[in-house]
Structure 1
Amino acid sequence: MRTTPLLVAAPLAVALALLPVMLVASGAQQVGLWSPWTAAPALATGVALAAVLLPRLDLPRLPWPSALLLLALCAGLGTWAALTHGEHLVVRRDPGAYATYALALARYGGVPLDPGLDVFGLPASDPWVRVGAAANYAVPGTGADGSATLLVSPQFLVGVPALLSGAWLVGGWSGLLVAPAVVAALALAAFAGLAAQLLGARWALLATALLGVSQPVVLVARQTFSEPFSLLYLLTAATLLVLAAASRGQRARLPALVAGLLLGAHLLVRIDAVRELVLLVPLVALLAGRRHPAAGPLAVGTLLTGVPAALATRWWDSPYVASVASSLGPLVAAGAVVTVLSAAALLLGRRVARRWDTTGVPRAAVRAAALLPAVAAATVALVGVGLASRPLWLVDSREPYLPGMEQFVGALQQQQGLPVDGLRTYAEDSVVWLVWWLGPVTVLLALVASVVLAAVGTRAVLSRQPLPRWLLPVVVGLAVTVLSLYRPAITPDHPWADRRYVTVTYPYLVLAATATLAWLVGTGRRGTRPAAAVLAAAMLLPTALATLPLATARTETGQVAAVGAVCAALEDAGPRPAVLAVGFRARVEWAPVVRARCGVPFVGIEEPSAPAGTTLGQVLGDAAATARAGGYAPVVLVGDLTSAQTVADATGVTLPPVVSLRTTEPERLLEERPLETREMTVDAWLAPLP
C-alpha cells in the first residue's frame, strides 16, 4: 500500500515557515519596522527553509487511507472551532490582550506605544493620568516631542501577536479570529503523527479524537490564545525527537537540529518554554553520555533560535517578565543548577565508565542499578497518589504569582459564596481539574503508563542498550505534568485555569492512557480486546459529555461590531480625534483596542486616591483646550453609566451611548466545572468635549 509523510510534514512545514517570521518580528517590532515589507521576506525565508529541510528528513509515513482519515478528523475539529470562534477584543482576559497586541503591531509596526500625553498637555506625573490598561503596562519613555513621558507596553511575548497581525493583514477580522483554529488543526495533526509513530494509526485516531474534543483544547482553539501555537511547536519538536532517537549515525543529526530550532523558537511563543528548555539540558547530557549523534545538533539548534529569542524579548527590562518573576526566577535558577549538574554528571559518568571498562563494574553498583527501576516506578506512583490526594489534606495558599491576583480571587470567592482568602491557589484540586475534562479512566490509565514507563526508561538509561525512541518526549511530558500539577501558576478560575494543561499535560496524559490500551490489546490474551473497547469508551465518552454543554457556545460575539461603532463615532467627532477615557472600565477595557484599531491618542483619567487640588472638570477642560490648540478633536469616552453621569456633572456634557452590547463570556468558577457561559455587558458612551 502506498504511504505518505503528509500527516507529519504538513504541520512541520508550517512551523518551520513561521519560525523566521517570529524571529524577525521580535527585532523589528522594537524599532517600529514590523510591516508586510519585513514580514513577507521573513515568511519567504521560512518557506525556503521548510522546502530545503523537509525532503532531507526521513519523516514517518502512514498508509494513505490512515493519513487522510486522521487529517480529516483534525480538519473537522479545526472547522468546528472556527465556526464557533469568539470575538474577544474589549480586553478582559488573555485573548483580548493577544488580539489587541496584534492589531497594534499591524497599525504601528511596533511597541511600546505612545498614548499621546503630549496631545493633551498632561505630564506623566499628573495624579489624574492612567496610561496602563488590562494586559498593558505603563513604562517610562520619550514622547514625540522628545520629552519624558509614559509609554504603553503590551503584555506577553511577541511571537503569537506577530503571527496574528499577519493573519489580520491577510484576512481582516476573520483572519485574526479564525487563525487559532487553523493552527489548532495543524497542531492536532502533529499530535496524530506523533501518536501514530509511537502507537500506530488506529490508536492515533482514538488519541486525537480524545484530545481534540476536550473542552480546554476547544476553548483555546476558539480564541486568540497562544496555546495552539505552542502545541504546534512542541508536538512537531517531539515528533522529531522521537525520529532522532530512533535513527542511527548521521540520520539522527538533522531531525535533532530541527527539533532544537523549534524548541528554541518556542521561547517567542510562551514564557513557559523556559521550563521545557531546562528539562532539555539533562536529556542532551544523557545523549552526549551515550555518544548519540543527536546530542550536539539538538543543543546547537536550540541555541540558534533560543538565544536570539531571549535577547530580542528584552528580558532585562520587560515589564511582563518582571510581573511573572516569582515563577520565572526559580525556573531560571533551576536551569543554571541543572546545567552545572548535568555537565558534572556527564564528565563523571565518562570517567567512571572508562574505569569500569578496565576494572569491571562493582557488584554494589550492579545491585543498586537493579533496584533503581523499581525505585523510579514507586516514586512516580507515590507522586501521582500524593498529587491526587491533596484535597484531603491540603489547602494551598501562597503569594500570588501575578499582581492583583489576590484581589481578583477574593472578589470571585465573595461572588460565589466561598470563604474569602485571596491567597488561595486551589492548586490542591489540579488533578480534579484533569478529571473534569478527561475523565477518571484516562487519568488513571495515564498514571499506570507513567509508572511502567518510569521503570522501563530507567532500566534503559542504566543499560548499554539503545535508548527507547519515546524516552525524551516522555521525560519532558511527565516532568512538566508533575510541575504544572504541583503549581499551576495561573488564576484559578475555570475554564481559564484549565488551559494551563493544554500544551503538555493533556497530550502527555492522552498518549500515556492510549498506550496502556494499546498494550492491553497487544498482549493478545483472551478477554483483553473487549475490556480495551470498554476502556476506550470510558475514556472518550466522559470527555465528549463534558464538552457537550459548551459544544456550540460562541462567546464575546458582537464585539467586532462594537469596536467598529466606537471607531465610527470617533470619526464623526471631528478630524484627528483624541480620547480621554474616564473610569476604570473605559480606560482598562477599551484602551488597547481603541488605540490599536481606531488609531487615536488615548489617555485614561481617573480620580486619584489622594487629593490633587484639581477637579475632574478642570482636568478635562484643560486637556481638551490643549488638544484643540494642537489641531485635535478631544473626545471623552466612558464604559459605565456611573462614569457617564460623573462626566456630565463635571462638564455639563451629556454622553450619548454608542455601544450597548449584551453578550456572553466563559464562566469564572473556582470550585466547579463550568457547564455554561455567563452574560457580560460591553458599553460605551462618548461625546466631543467643548
Structure 2
Amino acid sequence: MRLALPPPERRPSAGRVLAVASLLPALLVAAFLLAGLPLLLAGWFRPLPVLLLAAVIAVPLCRVALRLPETVGATARHTGGVLAIALGSGVFNAIMHSEQLIVRRDPATYAQYATWIGAHGSLPIPAQAWAFGGADPSLMFDSVGFYPVDGSVVPQFMPGPPMLFAVGGWLGGMLLTPAVLGALAVLTVGGVAGRLAGGRWAPLAAFAFAVAMPILYTSRTTFSEIPSLILLFGGMALLHDTLQVTRGRVWPAAGLAGLVFGLAVLVRVDGLRDVLPVLAFAGLLIALRRFGRPEGRLGPPLLAGVALGVGLGLLAAYLLARPYLAYLSRSVNPLLLICAAVLVLTALGTAAAPWLAARVRLPRRLPEIGAALVVVVMAGLAVRPWLQTVRRVPVNADDQRTFSFIQDTQRALRLPIDGTRLYSEYSLHWVIWYVGVPVVVLATLAAAVLVRRLLRGGASFEWLLPLAVIGWTTITTLLRPEITPDQPWASRRLVPVVIPGLIVLAVWGLGWTRDKARRLGYGGRPQTVIAVLGTLLVLVPPTITSIGTAFVPIERGERAAVEAMCARIPANASVLIVERVTGERFTQLVRGMCDRPAAQARRISGDEAPLPEVNRLISRIRAAGRVPVVLAAQADQVSLYGPPQQVMALVTRQDERSLLDPPNGTWSLRVNVWMAVP
C-alpha cells in the first residue's frame, strides 16, 4: 500500500519576496503612527499599549498587502542584492550614528520630544512652576524648539517622528532608530525601482540611494525626512500593486495606499504638499470610472484613504503643534489655499469629465511640447544661479537669527557678508553634488520620454502618479527649499522625494537607453557596455561626494556627557539657567533627560540675567523646599552664586557649514556647562 504524499509547498518567487518586503516598511510605520497618535492624545503613550495596538493594526494591513499580485520581475540575485544593501546600510549607519541630544538644531529637538513622550506618555510638557515657588515674570520655561502655552511647554514639529523614535527607545535604542529607518527606506526605494524600472535595476537604485550623502546624513540622527520617504514611496508601491488587480475587491488595498500617503502629513507638514498629486490622481480615477475604465474603481477608496490620513495629520497639528503651525503660517496658509484649489478643480474636473471629453481637443504636438517642457524646466533650474539671487529681508526674530547665522557662516568661509542671501538658486546644483550629473541627465531624459508617452497614451498608466509626485515635489522643493542653506543641513530637503525620485527615474532611463540600443540593432556587447558604463556613472559621483563625511560620525560623546552632568545635579534640585546659550540648549534636556525642573532666568539685555533677579529667584526656590542650582556656559557666570563646578566639557565634531560647495569634512564643537549650588 502506498501512502499519498501531500503536494510540495510552492515557495514564493524572488520577485514576490522583494515586492512584499518593500511594502512592509510603510505598513509598519503606518501601524505605529495609527496606534501611537490616539494613545498620545489620550495621555497613554506607554510601551505595552502602543506595541500591542500597533501589532493589532499591523496584522490586517499586512494581510491586505499579501493579497496583492506579484509585481516585481526580480531574480534571487536581484532580491538578495537589495536586501543585502539595505542591511549593510543599516549596520553602517548604526555604527556611525550621531548623538544629537544637546538642542542646537532640529535633530536634538526631535530627540528631546521623543525622550519626553517615551518616559511620560503625554503632552503638553508641564512647566513645573511649583518647583520655583510658582509662576513669576522673570521665569521662562520655554526654549529653542519648545513653545510656551498656557503654563506648559509644547514641542515644535509634528508628533509622527518622535513617536517612532520613542518606540525605538523602548525596543533598544532611540539613537539607533534612524539607522533602522534608513535601511527600511533603502528597501522601499529598491522595491519601487523594481516595480517601475524592472528587477534588474533595483539593486543599482538601492545602492545609489544608500550611498548619497543626504541619505547617510538623515539615516544617522533623528530627522523626519526618512519616515516621510518611507510613507510616500510605500504609498506609490501599494498603489502600483493595486492597479494590477484585475478582479475582486480592491477597495481595501486602494484605501490603504491612500492612508499611507496621507499619513505623511503626520510626519511633516510639507507632506501636505507632497500628497497633492494623489488627490488629483484620485479625482482622475473617479472620472475614468464614469467611462467604464477598470482603474476607476480605485478612485473613491483612494480618496477616502488620503482624506483619513491627512485628517489625522491636521488633527495632530491642531491639537499638539499649534504654535509650530503659527510659526510656519507664511508657508502653511498658502499651502492650505493651494490644497483647497486642487480639491475644487479636481471636483469640477471629475463632474465635467464627459463634457470635457466630448468637446476638448488637445493639441496634436502636446506630447512633444510636454517632453520639451521637462528639459526646459531642468535647464532653467541649472542656469538659475546666473539669472537670480534669492534673498529674504528679516521681518521677525526667527528671520533675524537666520540672518545672523548666515553672516557668521559667510565670515567663517571668507565669503562676502550678506545675511539676506538664501542661496536657493543653487538648489539643482545641490542635487548634482549629491547624485551626480549623470543621474540628473538620465532622470531628465526618462521624465521627458515618459511624459511624451503618457500624453500619447503609450506609456503604462502605472507611471502617472509616481511621475506626478516626483515632478511636482522636485520642482516645488528646488524653487523654494525654505531652509537655512548651509550644507549638509540643507540637503535634508532633498531626501523625501527629490533624490529617491531622480534615482528611480535615472535607472529607468538607463534601462530605456539599453533597450533603445537593442531596438536600433546593436548586439549584446554594446548593450553590456551601456549597462556597465551607466552603472558606474550612476554610482561613482555620489560615492565620491560622500567619502568626505561618510566615515566621520558627528556629535559623538553627547550621551555620556549628558549622563555625567545629570548625575552631578542634586536629586531635589530646581535648575535655573542664567545664560542664553545654555538656556536654549539645556532647558528641556535637564527637564526631560535629567528629570529635574528647569527654567531660564529672563534676560533684560545681553546674554545674562540680572544678578538681583537671579538672587530673588534663588530665594523663591529655597522657600519652596528645593535646592537651587544655577547653570551657565562659563565659570564667572555662576561664581556670583556659589563655588563653580564644571559639569560638562564636551569636545566633539559637528556638521560642516558649506554654502557654495559640497561638504567634505566636519568642524570641531565644544560645549561647556558650569554649575553652582548657592
Same fold per superposition (TM over 0.5): yes
* Equivalent position to 1:106, from 107, 118, 139: 118
Q: Which of the numbers 327, 330, 344 marks the counterpart of 1:326? A: 330
2:532 aligned partner: 533
CA RMSD of aligned residues (A): 2.3
Which residue of structure 2 lines up, in the alignment, with residue 377 of structure 1? 371
SS in 1 for 2:421: coil
State the Cα distance separating 1:58 from its structure 2 match: 2.3
Partner residue of 1:679 out of 654, 668, 671 = 668
Q: Superposition pairs for residues 155-554 of structure 1, below 5 Å?
A: 155-171=156-172, 175-250=173-248, 252-291=250-289, 292-314=296-318, 318-353=322-357, 356=358, 366=361, 368-398=362-392, 403=399, 404-460=401-457, 468-523=461-516, 524=518, 525-526=521-522, 527-554=526-553
Q: Percent of aligned pairs with the same residue?
A: 31
State the shift of 1:3 in Å: 0.6
Task: Report the alpha carbon displacement of residue 563 of structure 1 after superposing the two structures with TM.
Answer: 0.9
Alpha-carbon shift at residue 267 of structure 1 (Å): 1.3
Alignment of 1:137-156 (within 5 A): 137-139=147-149, 141=150, 149=151, 151-156=152-157
Corresponding residue for 1:557?
556
C-alpha contact (below 8 Å) 1:18/1:46 kept by paired residues: no
| Per-residue deviation, 1:610 | 9.6
1:469 is paired with a residue whose SS is: helix
**1:521-550 C-alpha deviation (Å, 9 max, x unpaired):** 112142344234223212211111111111
- Cα gap change, 1:325/1:70 in structure 2, threshold over 3 Å: closer, same or farther? same
Post-superposition CA distance 1:494-529 (Å, at most 9, x none)? 001011011100111111111111011112142344
1:221-278 deviations in Å (ceiling 9; x for gaps): 0111112211211111111122233433446433322111101111111111101222
1:119 corresponds to 2:120:
no
CA gap 1:51/1:199 in 2 versus in 1, 3 angstroms: closer
Greater CA drift, 251-260 or 225-234: 251-260
The partner residue of 1:596 within 592, 599, 608 is 592
**Once the two structures are superposed, what CA deviation does each residue of 1:115-147 show, in whole Å capped at 9, x if it has no partner?**
3233213635x2x433322211222x1xxxxxx
Post-superposition Cα deviations, 1:294-316, rounded to whole Å, max 9, x if no partner, equal 11111111122321221132169
Question: Match for 2:163: what amino acid?
Answer: A
- In the alignment, which residue of structure 2 is the partner of 1:646? 637
Distance 1:531 1:13, change over 3 A: closer
Extract unaligned runs of 5+ from structure 1: 142-148
1:68 matched to 2:69? The reply is no
Q: Which amino acid aligns with 1:305?
A: G
Superposed displacement of residue 608, structure 1: 0.8
Q: Identify if the C-alpha distance between structure 1 residues 481 and 550 changes in structure 2 by more than 3 Å, giving closer, same or farther.
A: same
Alignment correspondent of 2:5: none
* 1-structure distance, mates of 2:661, 2:335: 30
Q: 1:534 to 1:24 in 2, by over 3 A?
A: closer
Gap change, CA 1:466 and 1:211, over 3 Å in 2: closer
Is the 1:10–1:186 contact (alpha carbons within 8 Å) kept by the matching residues of 2? no
Of the structure 1 ranges 30-39 and 467-476, higher mean CA displacement relative to structure 2 is found in 30-39
Q: Is the 8 A contact 2:392 2:421 kept in 1?
A: yes
Q: Deviation above 6 Å: which 4+ runs of structure 1?
A: none
1:535/1:10 CA distance change after superposition, 3 Å: closer
The equivalent position to 2:63 in structure 1, one of 33, 52, 56, is 52
Q: Is the 8 A contact 1:230 1:266 kept in 2?
A: yes
Distance in 1 of aligned mates of 2:82 and 2:27 = 21
Preserved contact between residue 157 and residue 271 of structure 1 (Cα < 8 Å): yes
Contact 2:192–2:504, Cα closer than 8 Å, also in 1: no
Distance of aligned partners of 1:52 and 1:654 in 2 relative to their CA distance in 1, 3 Å threshold: same
1:37 shift after superposition: 4.1
What SS is found at the alignment partner of 1:489?
coil
Task: Choose which of 577, 582, 592 in structure 1 pairs with 2:578.
Answer: 582
Q: Deviations over 1:440-492 (max 9, x none)?
A: 111111111111222222223xxxx8952111111111111011111111111
Q: What is the DSSP-based 3-state SS (H/G/I as helix, E as strand, rest coil) of the residue aligned with 2:125? A: coil
Distance 1:229 1:582, change over 3 A: same
Give CA-to-partner distance per residue, 1:294-339, whole Å, 9 cap, x none. 1111111112232122113216971111111222221111111111
SS at match of 1:290: helix
- Partner Cα separation in structure 2 for residue 657 and residue 209 of structure 1: 46
Give the SS at the match of 1:156.
Answer: coil
Q: 1:305 to 1:656 in 2, by over 3 A?
A: same
The aligned counterpart of 2:8 is: none
Q: 1:11 to 1:600 in 2, by over 3 A?
A: farther
Q: Distance in 2 between matches of 1:258 and 1:23?
A: 12
Comparing 105-114 with 441-450, greater Cα deviation is found at 105-114
- More displaced, 624-633 or 664-673? 624-633
Structure 2 distance, partners of 1:417, 1:424, is 15
The answer for the alignment partner of 2:605 in structure 1 is 609
SS in 2 for 1:673: coil
Contact 1:214 1:438 in 2 (8 A): yes
Q: How far apart, CA to CA, are the structure 2 residues paired with 1:50 and 1:319?
A: 33
In structure 2, how many angstroms separate the alpha carbons of the residues matched to 1:99 and 1:317?
16
Aligned match of 2:7: none
Deviation at 1:663, TM superposition (A): 0.1
After TM superposition, the score normalised by the length of structure 2 is 0.91
Instruction: Label 1:225 to 1:25 Cα distance change in 2 as closer, same or farther (>3 A).
Output: same
Q: Secondary structure at the match of 2:26?
A: helix
- Describe the shift of the 1:444–1:338 C-alpha distance in structure 2 as closer, same or farther (beyond 3 A): same
Query: Which residue identity lines up with residue 597 of structure 1 in the other structure?
Result: M
For structure 2, the residue ranges without an aligned partner over 5 or more in a row are 1-10, 290-295
1:415 Cα deviation after fit = 2.8
Q: Which amino acid in the other structure matches residue 381 of structure 1? A: V
User: In the aligned structure 2, how far is the partner of 1:116 from the partner of 1:627?
Assistant: 12
| Residue 14 of structure 1, CA deviation | 4.1
Q: Is the 8 A contact 2:224 2:268 kept in 1?
A: yes
